[in-house]
């Protein structure tokens, strides 16, 4: 609890908040330059998200994979690695969940089948990321390049598996998956919005992230390796093992995102023409959330709200939905270049200090 207080007692939250406001301002300026009405656009955006139970539920659905991939990228970041490969890990997780969900559907009862599919998705995603971790630890190969390559390999591999073993004949997708993560009782409340258990698993993953990194010895080692691998090695930590483990856990998060999407949302797996882009959104979410689990959850909520609502902007105010990427990009820019935000805030800080003296 004391740590929770500390987060809000320091000014650590002011910079992101001001960055968000400044990001929206940049978006408004860009809209004004383009001849649009920013107030109409932003209100259309929020109306789209909060206007109906269905849309609200769908916005939550949109946030879920973002939480997972955000956590995945953030976890790797904390351990000193840049995981560009969350995309591939999501695909591998999807495929594992689809294979288990379809092939074992008749033989296992659903209370065994569904958890098994989810676990397999996590484990396979983790192993996929673990390849990059292993190559980094044992051969010193830059994880950026291996995860990019693994993204492509994952795309083709999962397409191959879906096309050869799971294909619904005549379609470019798998058979329907009988195993389901849908929250049926909530779906009716939200007008058939595709809510699923993945959201709860994502929140649990965020808690795990926090407890593991800050409350366990293994997590301490992992952060030490992330901050300074040489010092960590000097202190007797096994850097290589930590690198592999961190990538594995990162991949587990991403793999679970895949399970949520196929078992909770689509109930089938498509053959993808290009990479679906979950991983790149995850990078943005992780950075927005300052690579802290609580931050990542909040960032996923913000990012999900903005991307889901952006479709409303084009209906309501005729603004191209791409604008929202400018807003998100600007927010991340101001969070990264905190010097600019502090410079903007300087007069206010100055005033506050004076008041204290009086």
Partner 1 sequence: MEVLGQLLNTTLVFSTALIFAALGGIFSERSGIVNIGLEGLMMFGAFAAAVGGYYAQDAGMGAWAPWIGVLCAMAVGVLGALIHAVASITFKADQTISGTVINFLAAGSTLYVVKLIFEGAGETPLLDGFNKVPIPGLSKIPVIGEGIFNSYPTTYLAMILVVVIYFILFKTPFGLRLRAVGEHPSAADTLGVNVKRMRYIGVMLSGMLAGIGGATITLTTTGTFSHNTISGQGFIAIAAMIFGKWNPLGAFGAAVFFGLSQAIRNYVQLFEWSKNIPQEFIFMIPYVLTIIVLVSAVGRSSAPKALGEPYDPSKR
Find the binding residues for partner 1 in span 157-186 (CB under 8 A): 157, 159-160, 163-164
Nearer to partner 1, 127 or 323 (CB): 323
| Helix/strand/coil percent split, the chain, to 5 | 80, 0, 20
Half-sphere exposure of 200 toward its Cβ, with a 13 Å CA cutoff? Answer: 9
SS3 call for 196: strand
315 makes contact with partner 1 (CB under 8 A): no
Rg, the chain, Cα only: 22
| Separation of alpha carbons 123 and 299, rounded Å | 25
With contact defined as beta carbons under 8 Å apart, do 70 and 289 qualify?
yes
Rounded to 5 degrees, what are φ and ψ at 321?
-65, -15
Residue with tokens 């960055």, as numbered in its chain: 19
CB of 312 to partner 1, least distance (A): 16
* Count of chain residues binding partner 1 (CB under 8 A): 48
Nearer to partner 1, 208 or 333 (CB): 333
CB of 26 to partner 1, least distance (A): 10
CB-based burial label for 11 (10 Å; 0-12, 13-18, 19+): exposed
With contact defined as beta carbons under 8 Å apart, do 132 and 147 qualify?
yes
330 makes contact with partner 1 (CB under 8 A): yes
The token pair at 248 is 């594995």
Binding segment (CB under 8 A) for partner 1, from list 183-191, 193-201, 315-323, 348-356: 315-323
Residue with tokens 């107030």, as numbered in its chain: 39
Find the binding residues for partner 1 in span 77-116 (CB under 8 A): 82, 84
Nearer to partner 1, 157 or 200 (CB): 157
With contact defined as beta carbons under 8 Å apart, do 99 and 165 qualify?
yes
Find the binding residues for partner 1 in span 139-158 (CB under 8 A): 139-142, 144-146, 148-150, 152-153, 156-157
41 makes contact with partner 1 (CB under 8 A): no
Find the binding residues for partner 1 in span 241-300 (CB under 8 A): 274-275, 280, 283-284, 287
CB of 281 to partner 1, least distance (A): 10
Applying CB under 8 A, which residues contact partner 1? 30, 34-35, 82, 84, 135, 139-142, 144-146, 148-150, 152-153, 156-157, 159-160, 163-164, 274-275, 280, 283-284, 287, 320, 322-330, 332-333, 335-340
């Amino acid at each position: 609890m004391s740590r929770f207080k500390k987060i809000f007692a320091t000014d650590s939250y002011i910079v992101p908040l001001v960055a968000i406001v400044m990001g929206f301002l940049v978006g408004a300026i860009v809209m004004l330059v383009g001849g649009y009405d920013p107030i109409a656009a932003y209100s259309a955006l929020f109306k789209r998200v909060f206007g109906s139970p269905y849309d609200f539920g769908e916005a939550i659905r949109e946030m879920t994979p973002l939480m997972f991939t955000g956590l995945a990228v953030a976890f790797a970041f904390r351990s000193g690695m840049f995981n560009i490969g969350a995309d591939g890990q999501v695909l591998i997780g999807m495929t594992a969940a689809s294979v288990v969900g379809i092939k074992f559907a008749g033989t296992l009862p659903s209370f065994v089948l569904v958890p098994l599919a989810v676990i397999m998705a996590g484990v396979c995603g983790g192993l996929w990321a673990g390849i990059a971790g292993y190559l980094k630890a044992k051969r010193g190969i830059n994880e950026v390049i291996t995860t990019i390559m693994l993204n492509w390999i994952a795309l083709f591999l999962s397409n191959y598996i879906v096309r050869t073993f799971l294909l619904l004949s005549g379609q470019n997708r798998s058979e329907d998956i009988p195993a389901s993560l849908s929250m049926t009782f909530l779906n009716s409340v939200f007008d058939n919005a595709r809510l699923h258990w993945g959201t709860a698993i994502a929140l649990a993953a965020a808690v795990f992230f926090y407890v593991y990194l800050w409350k366990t010895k293994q997590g301490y080692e992992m952060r030490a390796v992330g901050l300074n691998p040489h010092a960590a090695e000097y202190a007797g930590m096994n850097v290589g093992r930590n690198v592999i483990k961190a990538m594995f856990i990162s991949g587990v998060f991403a793999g679970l995102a895949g399970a949520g999407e196929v078992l909770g949302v689509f109930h089938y797996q498509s053959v993808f023409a290009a990479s679906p882009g979950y991983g790149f959104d995850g990078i943005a979410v992780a950075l927005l959330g300052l690579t802290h689990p609580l931050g990542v959850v909040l960032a996923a909520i913000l990012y999900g709200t903005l991307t889901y609502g952006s479709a409303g902007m084009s209906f309501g105010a005729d603004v191209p939905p791409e604008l929202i990427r400018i807003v998100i990009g600007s927010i991340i820019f101001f969070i990264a270049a905190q010097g600019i935000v502090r410079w903007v805030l300087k007069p206010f800080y100055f005033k506050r200090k004076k008041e204290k003296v009086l």
